[in-house]
A and B are shown apart, each in its own frame.
Chain A
Amino acid sequence: MREYDFSFHAFIQGIILIGFALLMLWFVLSGNIVYYIAPKMMPFVYFGLVTFFILGIVQVFRSTKKNDSSGAACTCGHDHRIPGPPIVKLLIYSIFILPVLMGFVLPDRALDSSVASNRGMIYGSGNSPSADAAQEAGRQTEAAETAEEEQSTADEYLEDPEGYMESLEADTSGTGEAPSPDEMDEHFTVEDFYDQEGFDQYYVELAEKLKHEDVITVTEDNYLDIMTVMDVHLDEFIGKDIEMIGFAFREPDFDDHQLVAARFSMTCCTADAGVYGTLIESSHAKEIEEDTWIHVYGTIKEGEYNGYRLPVITDADLNEVEEPDSPYVYPSFRF
């Protein structure tokens, strides 16, 4: 067997660890971390960054100790050699170097509409499922029940806020994932109603407040809240003006004048991102290219997509805008 050069491997490992630290530092310094990680996870990123630097430096120092033969200074006898012939070792280290290289070389960009179409758009607050979810719902035995429930969610809430909230809590779809078959009758996402007690106060108050505003302005901070309120209290908002920002997205079955202003909602990282969209009707919708960011100003009316009732922004003015600083929206956690 070839001699295992502990010193060399400790050196390489130390440098790879420093590489990880540098990558994370770069993301934090450039602000590009917003494309990858939700703000509330940042403490973990800082922990990782600092730990990688420390481990990397320790590891480089470890490598300078010559002839640590017996398998490291770690006297527990636990053997952690990188196994295999040199080619395998090279491959294993390449795996670790890969994310560092990709992180530095490839552009940092937010997810776009191709992922959106893969994930399936969630219209409104997720109250109305996407086409696929609707099809799936159709396969369920409680399909009829589901449809009925769809139409009466608001009523149901007004009649029995307590029970309604409990059923919302049952939803598994933290990030807009398709709920399990038995839960298809619940399309709200957990974060929309994260704080059970806060629901009636918070959303009813918000609805009340929004009703008295001339124009509803949707921002990054209130995006998911307003989507929820509009879904639950749609009747009260018909005829009101609204403005919002989103990236352009089209379902394959859209007409020329139809468009979606979409936002990704991220809970922790992009892997869990769900796509929220608001249906737009505008005569110049066809001039907008997919994935361009648009500012939308229009009037809310009641619409329908795939058999579900949802708010539609009609006669919309569409203006191309720059991508916002925070391309994603985040569920508001009120711990």
Chain B
Amino acid sequence: MKPHQVRAFGKDLIGMGLLLLFLILFLFSDRLSSTQYIQDLPGAWVNVNTLFLSIVIEAVPFILLGVFVSAMIQIYVSEETIQRYLPKNAIGALFPAAVLGAIFPLCECAIVPVVARLVKKGMPLHVGVVFLVAAPILNPIVFASTFFAFGSNWTHPVLLSRMGLAFILSIIIGFVLYMLFKNTRQLRAQAQSLTDHAHNHEHNHTHSSGGKPTFMTRIKETVYHAVDEFFLMGKYLILGALIAAMFQTFLDRSLLQTIGANEYSSTLVMMGFAYLLSLCSEADAFVAASFPQFSAGSLIAFLVYGPMLDLKNTFMLFAYFRVKFVIAFMITVTITVFLSILFVNRFVLPNWYMWF
């Protein structure tokens, strides 16, 4: 065999070995987990395992749903269509942009390259910003997952505040960034030649094959897209679930109570978590529901801030936009979310029952 054949054989072997391992585990799981060594594991770690798997199994169907819808939109909807429906007036475009963002269920990592592409194609920067922050929250899938995570209650303050704030804040953030940057070009030079760079997540909907793709091709593309996207974002969810599970098992309750009791610190702490955990907006509600020590206000902060800005999409933003713009964007989002949560804490949540 030639060297490359050996390598190919080795790779096949790795895959087959993995499959075999899964099958053996599937067949003998009962016997494995009842061995003395496993049974003697400290109870706390079993709890971590239970919580971790619970979050993953719970969130994964929602991730899949989100990934499918996102994949379909990327294949069936062109940027030109989106552009056509936007008003030409800069400020006037803010509101329809937020509405449009609401019907595009793209999560926070999928939206960055889409917005970069849209802006490159001539969409005003601030409209792109509205998309960037509205789309990951204001969509049916995030609504559904938040609804289920918070007790299947239509009038739950976390659910409605999350959606309401996402809508209002996206317009405010878009407006602030319009004031700061107007219509200047903020894309990095690198982003101008997206096609050349392997690590950029570029969207090019001019189908290279030329002719109109068949229905089957599109189905196939959707499925491929969904799988790729699942592997792109799934790792953030799994790590987030693991961290959250350990957090829930080991963190001293009294410490949390101290942080959670203070309006300012609990909001900041939850925003910090949201940023670091980098959860996908389709599943973060389940993790938020797992922080029972925190007030509704800080949970809303977690659920509004995280999808708008987190560790993983910061990297993506820096890849596409100029440093100055990204920093201004981050500061604007952070301050706006924090202030709005203080407002919600003071004026909205205490009077919640009057509205429902």
Q: Which A positions have Cβ atoms within 8 angstroms of B?
A: 1, 4-5, 8, 11-13, 15-20, 22-27, 30, 33, 35-37, 40-41, 44-45, 47-48, 51-52, 54-55, 58-59, 62, 70, 72-83, 92, 95-112, 114-115, 117-120, 132, 135-136, 139, 166-167, 169-170, 172-183, 189-191, 194, 267-272, 274, 291, 331, 333
Q: Do A78 and B201 touch across chains, with their CB atoms under 8 A apart?
A: yes
A105 neighbours in B (Cβ, 8 Å): 25, 29, 32-33, 38
**Nearest residue, chain B, Cβ from A272:** B289
Report how far A175 CA is from B217 CA in the complex, Å: 45
Tell me whether B157 is interfacial, beta carbon within 8 Å: yes
13 extra interface residue pairs, beta carbon distance < 8 Å, beyond A111-B47, A268-B286, A270-B55: A18-B19, A44-B62, A72-B224, A81-B198, A114-B43, A119-B292, A120-B292, A174-B289, A178-B260, A179-B296, A180-B297, A267-B152, A272-B292
Tell me whether B56 is interfacial, beta carbon within 8 Å: yes
Cβ-neighbour of B296 out of A19, A51, A76, A180 (below 8 A): A180
Given contacts A77-B195, A118-B253, contact A178 B295 (CB under 8 A): yes
Q: Can you identify 11 A-B contacts, CB atoms within 8 angstroms? A: A11-B11, A47-B65, A52-B60, A58-B224, A59-B227, A77-B195, A97-B18, A104-B32, A132-B253, A136-B261, A271-B289
Task: Tell me how far the C-beta of B91 lies from the nearest C-beta in chain A, rounded to whole angstroms.
Answer: 32
Given contacts A55-B230, A107-B33, A115-B248, contact A76 B221 (CB under 8 A): yes
Tell me whether B265 is interfacial, beta carbon within 8 Å: no
Closest 6 CB pairs of A and B: A174-B151, A80-B228, A170-B353, A177-B292, A271-B290, A180-B295
Q: Which B positions have Cβ atoms within 8 angstroms of A?
A: 11-12, 14-15, 18-19, 22-23, 25-26, 29-30, 32-34, 38-39, 41, 43-47, 49-58, 60-62, 64-65, 74-75, 113, 148-153, 155-158, 195, 198-205, 207-209, 213, 217, 220-221, 223-232, 234-235, 238-239, 241-242, 244-245, 248-249, 251, 253-254, 257, 260-261, 263, 286-287, 289-297, 345, 349-350, 352-354, 356
Report how far A41 CA is from B295 CA in the complex, Å: 25
Cβ-neighbour of B49 out of A106, A118, A166, A169 (below 8 A): A106
Report how far A170 CA is from B26 CA in the complex, Å: 45
Q: Do A106 and B38 touch across chains, with their CB atoms under 8 A apart?
A: yes
Interface of B, helix, strand, loop or mixed by DSSP: helix
Q: Do B19 and A15 touch across chains, with their CB atoms under 8 A apart?
A: yes
Q: Do A47 and B261 touch across chains, with their CB atoms under 8 A apart?
A: no
Cβ-neighbour of B15 out of A11, A37, A102 (below 8 A): A11
